[in-house]
Protein backbone atom coordinates (compact mmCIF):
# COMPACT_ATOMS: atom_id res chain seq x y z
CA UNK A 1 0.00 0.00 0.00
CA UNK A 2 2.59 2.52 -1.05
CA UNK A 3 3.62 4.43 -4.17
CA UNK A 4 5.74 7.40 -5.16
CA UNK A 5 2.60 9.46 -5.66
CA UNK A 6 -0.75 8.94 -3.93
CA UNK A 7 -3.65 10.72 -5.65
CA UNK A 8 -6.83 11.26 -3.63
CA UNK A 9 -9.86 11.31 -5.94
CA UNK A 10 -10.39 9.80 -9.40
CA UNK A 11 -12.19 12.85 -10.78
CA UNK A 12 -11.49 15.26 -13.62
CA UNK A 13 -8.11 16.54 -12.42
CA UNK A 14 -7.00 13.40 -10.55
CA UNK A 15 -7.42 11.14 -13.58
CA UNK A 16 -5.42 13.56 -15.76
CA UNK A 17 -2.57 13.67 -13.23
CA UNK A 18 -2.59 9.87 -12.86
CA UNK A 19 -2.34 9.47 -16.65
CA UNK A 20 0.59 11.88 -17.06
CA UNK A 21 2.53 10.52 -14.05
CA UNK A 22 2.00 6.89 -15.11
CA UNK A 23 3.02 7.74 -18.68
CA UNK A 24 6.24 9.24 -17.28
CA UNK A 25 7.05 5.98 -15.46
CA UNK A 26 6.22 7.09 -11.91
CA UNK A 27 4.50 4.72 -9.49
CA UNK A 28 0.99 6.00 -8.81
CA UNK A 29 -1.84 4.91 -6.51
CA UNK A 30 -5.26 6.51 -7.04
CA UNK A 31 -7.75 6.32 -4.17
CA UNK A 32 -11.48 6.73 -4.97
CA UNK A 33 -14.34 6.33 -2.51
CA UNK A 34 -16.94 5.71 -5.22
CA UNK A 35 -17.37 2.61 -7.36
CA UNK A 36 -17.66 1.65 -10.99
CA UNK A 37 -19.03 3.88 -13.76
CA UNK A 38 -20.30 0.92 -15.80
CA UNK A 39 -23.89 0.99 -17.01
CA UNK A 40 -26.13 3.06 -19.26
CA UNK A 41 -27.12 5.71 -16.69
CA UNK A 42 -23.58 7.12 -16.76
CA UNK A 43 -22.40 6.12 -20.23
CA UNK A 44 -25.47 7.22 -22.23
CA UNK A 45 -25.20 11.00 -22.74
CA UNK A 46 -28.96 11.68 -22.85
CA UNK A 47 -29.42 9.97 -19.45
CA UNK A 48 -27.48 12.73 -17.69
CA UNK A 49 -30.25 13.64 -15.23
CA UNK A 50 -30.12 10.17 -13.66
CA UNK A 51 -26.63 9.73 -12.15
CA UNK A 52 -26.70 13.24 -10.73
CA UNK A 53 -29.72 12.24 -8.64
CA UNK A 54 -28.53 8.74 -7.60
CA UNK A 55 -26.99 8.24 -4.16
CA UNK A 56 -24.85 5.48 -5.62
CA UNK A 57 -22.91 7.97 -7.77
CA UNK A 58 -23.24 11.24 -5.86
CA UNK A 59 -21.98 12.43 -2.46
CA UNK A 60 -25.45 13.91 -1.91
CA UNK A 61 -24.28 17.24 -0.58
CA UNK A 62 -26.52 20.27 -0.24
CA UNK A 63 -25.94 23.80 0.95
CA UNK A 64 -26.98 25.17 4.30
CA UNK A 65 -30.21 27.22 4.07
CA UNK A 66 -29.29 30.12 1.76
CA UNK A 67 -30.31 33.38 3.49
CA UNK A 68 -30.78 35.38 0.26
CA UNK A 69 -32.78 32.64 -1.49
CA UNK A 70 -35.57 32.36 1.06
CA UNK A 71 -33.74 29.80 3.19
CA UNK A 72 -33.70 27.15 0.44
CA UNK A 73 -31.07 24.42 0.56
CA UNK A 74 -29.57 23.98 -2.90
CA UNK A 75 -28.27 20.65 -4.16
CA UNK A 76 -24.51 20.40 -4.61
CA UNK A 77 -23.93 17.11 -6.46
CA UNK A 78 -20.34 15.82 -6.57
CA UNK A 79 -19.39 12.61 -8.32
CA UNK A 80 -18.70 9.65 -6.01
CA UNK A 81 -17.64 7.26 -8.77
CA UNK A 82 -14.57 6.80 -10.96
CA UNK A 83 -14.40 9.82 -13.22
CA UNK A 84 -15.77 11.94 -10.36
CA UNK A 85 -18.11 14.71 -11.44
CA UNK A 86 -17.12 14.16 -15.10
CA UNK A 87 -19.16 10.93 -14.81
CA UNK A 88 -22.35 12.68 -13.63
CA UNK A 89 -22.11 16.12 -15.24
CA UNK A 90 -23.84 17.56 -18.32
CA UNK A 91 -20.78 16.83 -20.52
CA UNK A 92 -20.62 20.45 -21.65
CA UNK A 93 -17.15 21.50 -22.78
CA UNK A 94 -16.13 25.13 -22.20
CA UNK A 95 -12.53 26.20 -21.78
CA UNK A 96 -13.40 29.56 -20.25
CA UNK A 97 -12.48 32.99 -21.59
CA UNK A 98 -8.87 34.08 -22.13
CA UNK A 99 -9.35 37.00 -19.72
CA UNK A 100 -10.37 34.61 -16.92
CA UNK A 101 -6.90 33.11 -16.89
CA UNK A 102 -5.17 36.47 -17.29
CA UNK A 103 -7.06 37.50 -14.15
CA UNK A 104 -5.71 34.41 -12.35
CA UNK A 105 -2.16 35.45 -13.20
CA UNK A 106 -2.78 39.07 -12.20
CA UNK A 107 -4.03 37.98 -8.77
CA UNK A 108 -1.00 35.83 -7.94
CA UNK A 109 -1.30 32.58 -9.92
CA UNK A 110 1.93 33.24 -11.79
CA UNK A 111 2.29 31.14 -14.93
CA UNK A 112 -1.49 30.63 -15.35
CA UNK A 113 -2.32 33.36 -17.87
CA UNK A 114 -4.18 32.40 -21.04
CA UNK A 115 -0.90 32.25 -22.97
CA UNK A 116 0.29 29.68 -20.40
CA UNK A 117 -2.83 27.50 -20.28
CA UNK A 118 -3.89 27.43 -23.95
CA UNK A 119 -1.13 24.90 -24.85
CA UNK A 120 -2.53 22.57 -22.15
CA UNK A 121 -6.07 22.89 -23.48
CA UNK A 122 -4.67 21.89 -26.87
CA UNK A 123 -2.66 19.01 -25.40
CA UNK A 124 -5.62 17.47 -23.62
CA UNK A 125 -8.19 17.42 -26.43
CA UNK A 126 -8.98 15.62 -29.65
CA UNK A 127 -11.36 17.93 -31.42
CA UNK A 128 -13.59 15.78 -33.59
CA UNK A 129 -15.17 18.53 -35.68
CA UNK A 130 -12.39 19.68 -37.98
CA UNK A 131 -14.00 20.37 -41.33
CA UNK A 132 -17.27 21.52 -39.71
CA UNK A 133 -16.26 25.13 -39.20
CA UNK A 134 -14.58 26.26 -36.02
CA UNK A 135 -10.99 27.14 -35.32
CA UNK A 136 -8.69 24.13 -35.96
CA UNK A 137 -5.51 26.11 -35.24
CA UNK A 138 -6.80 26.87 -31.73
CA UNK A 139 -7.73 23.25 -31.03
CA UNK A 140 -5.93 20.02 -30.12
CA UNK A 141 -6.06 17.03 -32.44
CA UNK A 142 -4.44 14.14 -30.54
CA UNK A 143 -5.24 14.44 -26.81
CA UNK A 144 -7.02 11.92 -24.57
CA UNK A 145 -10.24 13.96 -24.23
CA UNK A 146 -12.62 13.71 -27.20
CA UNK A 147 -14.75 16.77 -27.88
CA UNK A 148 -17.56 16.97 -30.43
CA UNK A 149 -20.71 18.85 -31.39
CA UNK A 150 -24.23 17.52 -31.37
CA UNK A 151 -26.07 17.02 -34.68
CA UNK A 152 -28.32 20.08 -34.08
CA UNK A 153 -31.09 18.36 -36.02
CA UNK A 154 -33.89 20.12 -34.13
CA UNK A 155 -34.84 23.45 -35.80
CA UNK A 156 -34.99 25.09 -32.36
CA UNK A 157 -31.17 24.94 -32.08
CA UNK A 158 -30.88 27.08 -35.21
CA UNK A 159 -33.72 29.38 -34.14
CA UNK A 160 -31.79 30.20 -30.96
CA UNK A 161 -28.62 31.22 -32.82
CA UNK A 162 -30.58 33.14 -35.46
CA UNK A 163 -32.57 34.97 -32.76
CA UNK A 164 -29.26 36.04 -31.17
CA UNK A 165 -28.07 37.37 -34.53
CA UNK A 166 -31.38 39.18 -35.08
CA UNK A 167 -31.05 40.80 -31.64
CA UNK A 168 -27.72 42.25 -32.75
CA UNK A 169 -25.29 39.87 -31.06
CA UNK A 170 -22.21 38.27 -32.53
CA UNK A 171 -22.31 34.77 -33.99
CA UNK A 172 -19.30 32.53 -33.28
CA UNK A 173 -18.34 29.32 -34.98
CA UNK A 174 -16.14 28.18 -32.09
CA UNK A 175 -16.51 29.69 -28.61
CA UNK A 176 -13.53 27.56 -27.50
CA UNK A 177 -11.38 29.13 -30.23
CA UNK A 178 -10.42 32.72 -30.93
CA UNK A 179 -13.88 34.20 -30.32
CA UNK A 180 -15.97 33.17 -27.34
CA UNK A 181 -18.47 36.00 -27.58
CA UNK A 182 -21.64 35.26 -29.51
CA UNK A 183 -24.22 32.58 -30.36
CA UNK A 184 -23.24 29.24 -31.87
CA UNK A 185 -22.91 25.45 -31.60
CA UNK A 186 -22.25 23.88 -28.18
CA UNK A 187 -19.55 21.26 -27.57
CA UNK A 188 -19.72 18.09 -25.49
CA UNK A 189 -17.31 15.46 -24.14
CA UNK A 190 -18.87 12.55 -26.03
CA UNK A 191 -17.07 9.98 -28.19
CA UNK A 192 -18.66 7.30 -30.36
CA UNK A 193 -21.97 7.93 -28.61
CA UNK A 194 -20.57 7.51 -25.05
CA UNK A 195 -19.91 9.97 -22.25
CA UNK A 196 -16.19 10.68 -22.56
CA UNK A 197 -15.50 11.20 -18.86
CA UNK A 198 -12.08 11.59 -17.26
CA UNK A 199 -12.33 7.87 -16.40
CA UNK A 200 -12.70 6.91 -20.06
CA UNK A 201 -10.21 9.50 -21.34
CA UNK A 202 -7.47 9.26 -18.72
CA UNK A 203 -7.93 6.70 -15.95
CA UNK A 204 -8.46 3.56 -18.02
CA UNK A 205 -5.37 4.25 -20.18
CA UNK A 206 -3.37 5.07 -17.02
CA UNK A 207 -4.34 1.77 -15.36
CA UNK A 208 -2.89 -0.13 -18.35
CA UNK A 209 0.54 0.88 -17.02
CA UNK A 210 1.90 -1.63 -14.50
CA UNK A 211 3.01 1.29 -12.29
CA UNK A 212 -0.53 2.68 -11.77
CA UNK A 213 -3.22 1.20 -9.51
CA UNK A 214 -6.68 2.18 -8.26
CA UNK A 215 -8.00 1.33 -4.80
CA UNK A 216 -11.37 1.97 -3.13
CA UNK A 217 -11.33 3.84 0.13
CA UNK A 218 -12.52 6.89 2.06
CA UNK A 219 -9.56 9.15 2.83
CA UNK A 220 -9.99 10.59 6.32
CA UNK A 221 -6.85 12.73 6.52
CA UNK A 222 -3.34 13.29 5.26
CA UNK A 223 -0.68 11.69 7.51
CA UNK A 224 1.88 14.34 8.48
CA UNK A 225 5.35 13.91 9.98
CA UNK A 226 7.50 16.93 10.89
CA UNK A 227 5.54 19.17 8.51
CA UNK A 228 5.71 16.73 5.63
CA UNK A 229 2.90 14.65 4.08
CA UNK A 230 3.89 10.99 4.21
CA UNK A 231 0.63 9.33 3.18
CA UNK A 232 -3.09 9.18 3.87
CA UNK A 233 -5.21 7.44 6.49
CA UNK A 234 -8.28 5.58 5.21
CA UNK A 235 -11.49 4.76 7.07
CA UNK A 236 -10.91 1.43 8.77
CA UNK A 237 -7.43 2.34 9.96
CA UNK A 238 -5.35 1.53 6.88
CA UNK A 239 -2.53 3.91 5.95
CA UNK A 240 -1.31 4.36 2.37
CA UNK A 241 2.26 5.66 2.14
CA UNK A 242 3.46 8.22 -0.40
CA UNK A 243 7.19 8.02 -0.98
CA UNK A 244 7.27 11.39 -2.77
CA UNK A 245 3.98 13.31 -2.60
CA UNK A 246 0.32 13.23 -1.64
CA UNK A 247 -1.86 14.87 -4.31
CA UNK A 248 -5.40 15.98 -3.38
CA UNK A 249 -7.94 16.00 -6.22
CA UNK A 250 -11.02 15.30 -4.13
CA UNK A 251 -13.21 18.25 -5.35
CA UNK A 252 -13.64 21.81 -4.17
CA UNK A 253 -15.82 20.42 -1.37
CA UNK A 254 -13.77 17.45 -0.18
CA UNK A 255 -10.21 18.72 -0.76
CA UNK A 256 -10.55 21.55 1.81
CA UNK A 257 -12.38 19.16 4.17
CA UNK A 258 -9.46 16.70 4.05
CA UNK A 259 -6.94 19.54 4.57
CA UNK A 260 -8.82 20.77 7.64
CA UNK A 261 -9.13 17.25 9.09
CA UNK A 262 -5.35 17.01 8.60
CA UNK A 263 -4.66 20.17 10.61
CA UNK A 264 -4.24 22.55 7.65
CA UNK A 265 -6.70 25.45 7.69
CA UNK A 266 -7.95 28.37 9.78
CA UNK A 267 -6.41 27.79 13.23
CA UNK A 268 -9.41 29.00 15.24
CA UNK A 269 -11.82 26.79 13.27
CA UNK A 270 -9.58 23.73 13.71
CA UNK A 271 -9.30 24.45 17.46
CA UNK A 272 -13.12 24.54 17.73
CA UNK A 273 -13.12 20.93 16.59
CA UNK A 274 -10.13 19.86 18.68
CA UNK A 275 -7.85 19.39 15.66
CA UNK A 276 -4.16 20.16 16.19
CA UNK A 277 -2.81 22.85 13.87
CA UNK A 278 -0.11 21.78 11.40
CA UNK A 279 -0.37 24.91 9.24
CA UNK A 280 -2.58 27.95 9.89
CA UNK A 281 -4.03 28.69 6.44
CA UNK A 282 -7.14 30.88 6.77
CA UNK A 283 -7.91 30.47 3.06
CA UNK A 284 -8.70 26.74 3.30
CA UNK A 285 -12.41 26.37 2.59
CA UNK A 286 -12.88 30.09 1.91
CA UNK A 287 -13.46 31.79 -1.49
CA UNK A 288 -16.21 29.29 -2.43
CA UNK A 289 -17.84 30.30 -5.74
CA UNK A 290 -20.47 28.84 -8.05
CA UNK A 291 -22.67 29.77 -11.00
CA UNK A 292 -26.36 30.26 -10.32
CA UNK A 293 -28.85 30.07 -13.18
CA UNK A 294 -32.51 30.47 -14.10
CA UNK A 295 -34.40 28.34 -16.60
CA UNK A 296 -36.35 30.70 -18.85
CA UNK A 297 -39.02 28.38 -20.30
CA UNK A 298 -41.31 28.89 -23.28
CA UNK A 299 -44.31 26.79 -24.33
CA UNK A 300 -43.98 25.64 -27.95
CA UNK A 301 -46.57 26.14 -30.68
CA UNK A 302 -45.21 23.12 -32.55
CA UNK A 303 -44.86 19.54 -31.20
CA UNK A 304 -41.16 19.35 -32.18
CA UNK A 305 -39.56 19.36 -28.74
CA UNK A 306 -38.09 16.43 -26.85
CA UNK A 307 -41.30 16.27 -24.80
CA UNK A 308 -42.67 13.80 -27.35
CA UNK A 309 -40.05 11.33 -26.07
CA UNK A 310 -40.91 11.92 -22.40
CA UNK A 311 -42.71 8.60 -21.98
CA UNK A 312 -41.57 5.09 -21.18
CA UNK A 313 -42.11 3.65 -24.67
CA UNK A 314 -40.09 6.35 -26.41
CA UNK A 315 -37.35 6.26 -23.77
CA UNK A 316 -37.10 2.49 -24.25
CA UNK A 317 -36.71 2.89 -28.02
CA UNK A 318 -34.05 5.60 -27.62
CA UNK A 319 -32.24 3.49 -25.00
CA UNK A 320 -32.30 0.39 -27.20
CA UNK A 321 -31.02 2.27 -30.24
CA UNK A 322 -28.19 3.74 -28.17
CA UNK A 323 -27.36 0.39 -26.52
CA UNK A 324 -27.08 -1.48 -29.82
CA UNK A 325 -25.73 1.21 -32.17
CA UNK A 326 -24.36 4.06 -29.99
CA UNK A 327 -26.44 6.49 -32.07
CA UNK A 328 -29.69 8.45 -31.98
CA UNK A 329 -31.04 10.89 -29.40
CA UNK A 330 -29.34 8.92 -26.63
CA UNK A 331 -25.89 9.84 -28.02
CA UNK A 332 -26.12 13.58 -27.25
CA UNK A 333 -26.53 15.57 -24.05
CA UNK A 334 -29.09 17.67 -26.02
CA UNK A 335 -27.24 20.90 -25.17
CA UNK A 336 -26.37 21.72 -28.78
CA UNK A 337 -26.61 25.52 -29.04
CA UNK A 338 -25.28 28.13 -26.65
CA UNK A 339 -24.24 31.75 -26.28
CA UNK A 340 -21.81 33.93 -24.35
CA UNK A 341 -22.77 37.61 -24.21
CA UNK A 342 -21.87 40.75 -22.28
CA UNK A 343 -24.51 42.14 -19.93
CA UNK A 344 -23.82 45.82 -20.63
CA UNK A 345 -21.45 48.29 -22.25
CA UNK A 346 -18.17 48.61 -20.37
CA UNK A 347 -17.92 44.86 -19.65
CA UNK A 348 -14.85 43.74 -21.65
CA UNK A 349 -15.77 40.08 -22.12
CA UNK A 350 -18.86 37.86 -21.77
CA UNK A 351 -20.37 37.62 -18.30
CA UNK A 352 -23.60 35.78 -19.24
CA UNK A 353 -23.82 32.20 -20.51
CA UNK A 354 -26.75 30.45 -22.21
CA UNK A 355 -27.39 26.72 -22.47
CA UNK A 356 -30.28 26.11 -24.87
CA UNK A 357 -32.38 22.94 -24.52
CA UNK A 358 -35.31 21.84 -26.76
CA UNK A 359 -37.46 20.74 -23.82
CA UNK A 360 -38.83 22.50 -20.73
CA UNK A 361 -37.48 20.34 -17.89
CA UNK A 362 -35.68 20.55 -14.54
CA UNK A 363 -32.32 19.00 -13.70
CA UNK A 364 -34.03 16.42 -11.51
CA UNK A 365 -35.85 15.18 -14.60
CA UNK A 366 -39.29 16.67 -13.83
CA UNK A 367 -40.81 18.24 -16.95
CA UNK A 368 -42.81 21.43 -17.08
CA UNK A 369 -46.53 20.72 -16.75
CA UNK A 370 -47.15 22.62 -19.98
CA UNK A 371 -46.01 19.79 -22.26
CA UNK A 372 -44.11 20.91 -25.37
CA UNK A 373 -41.63 23.65 -24.56
CA UNK A 374 -38.00 24.71 -24.64
CA UNK A 375 -35.70 26.65 -22.35
CA UNK A 376 -32.56 28.70 -22.02
CA UNK A 377 -30.51 28.33 -18.86
CA UNK A 378 -29.09 31.77 -18.11
CA UNK A 379 -27.00 33.23 -15.34
CA UNK A 380 -24.21 35.68 -14.55
CA UNK A 381 -20.68 34.26 -14.81
CA UNK A 382 -18.79 36.39 -12.29
CA UNK A 383 -20.87 36.82 -9.16
CA UNK A 384 -19.06 38.78 -6.42
CA UNK A 385 -20.68 36.57 -3.73
CA UNK A 386 -18.31 34.28 -1.82
CA UNK A 387 -19.07 31.39 0.50
CA UNK A 388 -17.13 28.78 2.45
CA UNK A 389 -16.74 25.08 3.16
CA UNK A 390 -16.17 24.34 6.86
CA UNK A 391 -16.12 21.30 9.11
CA UNK A 392 -19.30 20.09 10.77
CA UNK A 393 -17.21 18.08 13.24
CA UNK A 394 -13.88 16.31 13.50
CA UNK A 395 -15.58 13.10 12.31
CA UNK A 396 -14.45 12.37 8.71
CA UNK A 397 -17.80 10.63 8.10
CA UNK A 398 -19.74 13.88 8.53
CA UNK A 399 -20.57 15.96 5.47
CA UNK A 400 -18.92 19.38 5.55
CA UNK A 401 -20.90 22.59 6.04
CA UNK A 402 -21.39 24.22 2.61
CA UNK A 403 -22.44 27.88 2.57
CA UNK A 404 -22.43 29.44 -0.89
CA UNK A 405 -23.91 32.75 0.30
CA UNK A 406 -25.55 33.16 -3.11
CA UNK A 407 -27.00 36.57 -4.13
CA UNK A 408 -25.41 38.38 -1.18
CA UNK A 409 -24.68 41.62 -3.07
CA UNK A 410 -26.82 44.20 -4.89
CA UNK A 411 -24.76 43.51 -8.03
CA UNK A 412 -26.03 39.91 -8.08
CA UNK A 413 -29.65 41.06 -8.20
CA UNK A 414 -28.97 43.69 -10.89
CA UNK A 415 -27.17 41.07 -12.98
CA UNK A 416 -29.94 38.49 -12.69
CA UNK A 417 -32.71 40.90 -13.66
CA UNK A 418 -30.66 41.89 -16.69
CA UNK A 419 -30.18 38.21 -17.61
CA UNK A 420 -33.94 37.56 -17.56
CA UNK A 421 -34.81 40.68 -19.58
CA UNK A 422 -32.12 40.03 -22.21
CA UNK A 423 -33.38 36.44 -22.57
CA UNK A 424 -36.96 37.55 -23.10
CA UNK A 425 -35.74 39.88 -25.82
CA UNK A 426 -34.02 36.98 -27.60
CA UNK A 427 -37.15 34.81 -27.43
CA UNK A 428 -39.15 37.76 -28.85
CA UNK A 429 -37.15 37.82 -32.11
CA UNK A 430 -38.69 36.78 -35.44
CA UNK A 431 -36.69 33.52 -35.49
CA UNK A 432 -38.80 32.25 -32.59
CA UNK A 433 -42.15 33.53 -33.89
CA UNK A 434 -43.12 30.11 -35.37
CA UNK A 435 -42.29 28.38 -32.06
CA UNK A 436 -43.07 30.58 -29.03
CA UNK A 437 -46.60 30.13 -27.67
CA UNK A 438 -46.15 31.86 -24.30
CA UNK A 439 -43.70 32.13 -21.41
CA UNK A 440 -43.94 29.35 -18.81
CA UNK A 441 -41.23 30.55 -16.40
CA UNK A 442 -40.95 33.19 -14.99
CA UNK A 443 -44.33 33.92 -16.64
CA UNK A 444 -45.37 37.08 -18.44
CA UNK A 445 -46.86 38.59 -15.26
CA UNK A 446 -43.41 38.92 -13.64
CA UNK A 447 -42.14 42.28 -14.98
CA UNK A 448 -41.09 44.62 -12.17
CA UNK A 449 -37.73 44.40 -10.40
CA UNK A 450 -39.51 43.11 -7.29
CA UNK A 451 -41.34 40.44 -9.33
CA UNK A 452 -38.12 39.23 -10.92
CA UNK A 453 -36.33 39.20 -7.58
CA UNK A 454 -39.09 36.98 -6.19
CA UNK A 455 -38.71 34.61 -9.16
CA UNK A 456 -34.94 34.35 -8.66
CA UNK A 457 -35.36 33.81 -4.92
CA UNK A 458 -37.76 30.94 -5.56
CA UNK A 459 -36.41 29.33 -8.73
CA UNK A 460 -32.67 30.02 -9.23
CA UNK A 461 -30.66 26.80 -9.23
CA UNK A 462 -26.99 26.00 -8.95
CA UNK A 463 -25.26 25.19 -12.24
CA UNK A 464 -23.10 22.82 -10.14
CA UNK A 465 -19.80 24.66 -10.65
CA UNK A 466 -18.32 24.96 -7.13
CA UNK A 467 -14.65 25.99 -7.02
CA UNK A 468 -12.05 28.19 -5.37
CA UNK A 469 -11.75 26.75 -1.85
CA UNK A 470 -7.95 26.20 -1.90
CA UNK A 471 -6.98 29.06 -4.14
CA UNK A 472 -3.62 29.55 -5.80
CA UNK A 473 -1.50 32.56 -4.95
CA UNK A 474 1.92 33.77 -3.95
CA UNK A 475 3.68 32.60 -0.77
CA UNK A 476 3.24 35.98 0.92
CA UNK A 477 -0.54 35.96 0.39
CA UNK A 478 -1.95 34.73 3.69
CA UNK A 479 -5.27 33.77 2.04
CA UNK A 480 -3.62 31.62 -0.65
CA UNK A 481 -3.63 27.88 0.09
CA UNK A 482 -1.35 26.59 -2.66
CA UNK A 483 1.41 28.18 -4.71
CA UNK A 484 1.17 28.31 -8.51
CA UNK A 485 2.60 24.77 -8.68
CA UNK A 486 -0.19 23.41 -6.46
CA UNK A 487 2.05 22.94 -3.40
CA UNK A 488 0.24 23.57 -0.12
CA UNK A 489 1.95 26.56 1.49
CA UNK A 490 3.44 25.75 4.88
CA UNK A 491 3.83 21.98 4.47
CA UNK A 492 5.98 19.73 2.29
CA UNK A 493 5.12 16.99 -0.22
CA UNK A 494 1.40 17.90 -0.45
CA UNK A 495 -0.44 19.40 -3.42
CA UNK A 496 -3.98 20.29 -4.45
CA UNK A 497 -4.64 20.02 -8.20
CA UNK A 498 -8.43 20.30 -8.74
CA UNK A 499 -10.93 23.17 -9.18
CA UNK A 500 -10.34 24.14 -5.53
CA UNK A 501 -7.26 26.04 -6.71
CA UNK A 502 -9.12 28.39 -9.09
CA UNK A 503 -8.60 31.95 -7.82
CA UNK A 504 -11.81 33.02 -9.54
CA UNK A 505 -14.51 31.01 -11.29
CA UNK A 506 -14.10 30.78 -15.06
CA UNK A 507 -16.63 31.70 -17.71
CA UNK A 508 -18.79 28.65 -18.44
CA UNK A 509 -18.79 25.04 -17.27
CA UNK A 510 -15.82 23.91 -15.16
CA UNK A 511 -14.98 20.42 -16.41
CA UNK A 512 -12.55 21.58 -19.12
CA UNK A 513 -10.57 23.98 -16.89
CA UNK A 514 -10.49 21.32 -14.13
CA UNK A 515 -8.91 18.79 -16.50
CA UNK A 516 -6.54 21.46 -17.85
CA UNK A 517 -5.46 22.20 -14.26
CA UNK A 518 -4.63 18.51 -13.73
CA UNK A 519 -2.70 18.46 -17.02
CA UNK A 520 -0.62 21.52 -16.14
CA UNK A 521 -0.06 20.48 -12.51
CA UNK A 522 1.29 17.12 -13.71
CA UNK A 523 4.18 18.94 -15.43
CA UNK A 524 4.89 20.85 -12.20
CA UNK A 525 4.83 17.59 -10.21
CA UNK A 526 7.24 15.97 -12.68
CA UNK A 527 9.55 19.01 -12.51
CA UNK A 528 9.21 19.62 -16.24
CA UNK A 529 9.38 22.96 -17.96
CA UNK A 530 5.84 24.08 -18.79
CA UNK A 531 4.73 23.94 -22.42
CA UNK A 532 5.81 26.93 -24.51
CA UNK A 533 3.47 29.91 -24.14
CA UNK A 534 1.03 30.65 -26.93
CA UNK A 535 1.06 33.90 -28.93
CA UNK A 536 -2.58 33.55 -30.03
CA UNK A 537 -4.63 36.68 -29.32
CA UNK A 538 -8.31 36.16 -28.49
CA UNK A 539 -11.08 38.30 -30.01
CA UNK A 540 -12.39 41.11 -27.83
CA UNK A 541 -15.38 43.15 -29.02
CA UNK A 542 -13.89 46.34 -30.55
CA UNK A 543 -16.77 48.45 -29.19
CA UNK A 544 -17.00 46.85 -25.74
CA UNK A 545 -16.59 50.14 -23.87
CA UNK A 546 -19.56 51.77 -25.67
CA UNK A 547 -21.77 48.87 -26.74
CA UNK A 548 -23.44 45.86 -25.11
CA UNK A 549 -23.62 43.97 -28.43
Catalytic residue numbers? Answer: 465
Largest CA distance in the chain: 70
Beta strands in 412-520 (DSSP E): 436-441, 461-462, 494-496
> If 0-12 CB within 10 Å is exposed, 13-18 middle and 19+ buried, where does residue 526 land?
middle
CB 16, CB 518: distance < 8 Å: yes
State the Cα–Cα distance between residues 508 and 515, nearest whole angstrom: 14
Q: Rounded CA gap, 353 and 415, in Å? A: 12
| Other CB atoms within 10 Å distance of the CB of residue 351 | 21
Distance of CA 300 to the CA centre of its chain: 30
Beta-carbon contacts of residue 226 (< 8 Å; ≥ 6 apart)? none
H helices of 234-358, where? 251-261, 267-272, 312-325
DSSP assigned state of 48: T
Read off the DSSP letter of residue 258. H
List, in sequence order, every beta strand (DSSP E) within 404-519.
436-441, 461-462, 494-496
What DSSP character marks residue 400?
P
Peptide bond into 176 cis (omega under 30): no
Interatomic CA distance for residues 306 and 321, integer angstroms = 16
First to last CA, the chain: 57
Residues 6 or more apart whose CB falls under 8 angstroms from that of 320 comprise none
DSSP assignment letter at 113 = S
Q: Hey, is 233 helix, strand or coil?
A: strand
Rounded Cα distance between 342 and 419, Å, is: 10
SS3 116: helix
As a whole number of angstroms, the distance between CA 311 and CA 416 comes to: 34
Q: Convert 224-236 to b/e letters by CB count within 10 Å (16 or more is b).
A: beeeebbbbbbee
Q: Are 123 and 143 in contact (CB under 8 A)?
A: yes
Contact between 482 and 488 under an 8 Å Cβ cutoff? The reply is yes
Amino acid sequence: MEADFVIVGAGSAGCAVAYRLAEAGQSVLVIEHGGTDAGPFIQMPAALSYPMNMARYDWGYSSEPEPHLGGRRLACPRGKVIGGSSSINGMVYVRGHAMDFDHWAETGADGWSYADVLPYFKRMETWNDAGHGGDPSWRGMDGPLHVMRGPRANPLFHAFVEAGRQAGYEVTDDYNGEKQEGFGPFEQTVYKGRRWSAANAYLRPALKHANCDLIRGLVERVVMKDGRATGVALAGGQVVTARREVILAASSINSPKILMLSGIGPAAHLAEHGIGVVADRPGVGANLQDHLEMYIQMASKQPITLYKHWNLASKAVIGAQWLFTGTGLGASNQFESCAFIRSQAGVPYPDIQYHFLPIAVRYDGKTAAEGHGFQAHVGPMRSPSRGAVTLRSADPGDAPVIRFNYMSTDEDWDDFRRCIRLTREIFAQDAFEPFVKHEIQPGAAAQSDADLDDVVREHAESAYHPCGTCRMGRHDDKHAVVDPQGRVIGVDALRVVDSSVFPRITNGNLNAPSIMTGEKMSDHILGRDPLARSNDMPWIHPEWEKSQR
